[in-house]
Amino acid sequence: MLRKLAVVAAVYLLVGGTAFGGLVDGVGNVTDWGITPFSQVNQSDTFDGTRWLTIENDYSPIKYPGSIGHQPSPGGTTGEGFDLEEMYVRITDTQAQILLVTSNGPSVEAVGSTWRLGDLMILSDGQQFAIVTDSGNQGLPAGNIYRINGDADVVGLQDQPQSYRGSTTVVENDYGPDATIPQITEPWAVSGLIDAGLLLGAATIETDSFDYGGKEDGTFLIQYAFDKHVLELGDPVDMTTQIAWGCGNDVIRVKVDSPNVPEPATFAMLLVGSVLTYVARRRDMPKS
Ligand SMILES: [Ca+2]
Ligand SMILES: [Ca+2]
Ligand SMILES: [Ca+2]
The ligand with the least distance to the CA atom of 38 is 1
Query: Rounded to the nearest whole angstrom, what is the distance from the C-alpha of residue 235 to the centroid of ligand 3?
Result: 35
- pLDDT, tens digit, for every residue of 242-258? 999 998 889 999 999 86
How many Cα atoms sit within 13 Å of 74 on the Cβ side? 5
d(CA 255, CA 236): 13
Q: Is 102 helix (H, G, I), strand (E, B) or coil?
A: strand
Burial of 132 (0-12, 13-18, 19+ CB in 10 A): buried
Nearest to 255 by CA among 172, 175, 148, 155: 175
Query: Rounded to the nearest whole angstrom, what is the distance from the C-alpha of residue 87 to the centroid of ligand 1?
Result: 12
Query: Rounded to the nearest whole angstrom, what is the distance from the C-alpha of residue 121 to the centroid of ligand 3?
Result: 22
Ligand 2 being an ion, which residues bring their Cβ within 5 A of it?
Answer: 56, 59, 83-84, 250
The ligand with the least distance to the CA atom of 79 is 1
Query: Rounded to the nearest whole angstrom, what is the distance from the C-alpha of residue 67 to the centroid of ligand 1?
Result: 18
Query: Rounded to the nearest whole angstrom, what is the distance from the C-alpha of residue 220 to the centroid of ligand 3?
Result: 8
| DSSP run (H or E) holding 1 | none
Query: Rounded to the nearest whole angstrom, what is the distance from the C-alpha of residue 103 to the centroid of ligand 3?
Result: 4
Contact between residue 54 and residue 101 where contact means Cβ atoms under 8 Å apart:
no
d(CA 272, CA 288): 26
- pLDDT, tens digit, for every residue of 48-67? 999 999 999 999 998 887 77
- pLDDT, tens digit, for every residue of 149-198? 999 999 998 877 778 776 666 678 898 888 888 889 999 999 999 999 99
The ligand with the least distance to the CA atom of 56 is 2
Burial of 197 (0-12, 13-18, 19+ CB in 10 A): exposed
Contact between residue 130 and residue 154 where contact means Cβ atoms under 8 Å apart:
yes
d(CA 212, CA 210): 6
- pLDDT, tens digit, for every residue of 187-245? 999 999 999 999 999 999 999 999 999 999 999 999 999 999 999 888 889 999 999 99
d(CA 54, CA 145): 23
Query: Rounded to the nearest whole angstrom, what is the distance from the C-alpha of residue 242 to the centroid of ligand 2?
Result: 12
Position 100 scores a pLDDT of 98
Angle, vertex CA 86, rays to CA 270 and CA 27, nearest 5: 120
Query: Rounded to the nearest whole angstrom, what is the distance from the C-alpha of residue 76 to the centroid of ligand 1?
Result: 13
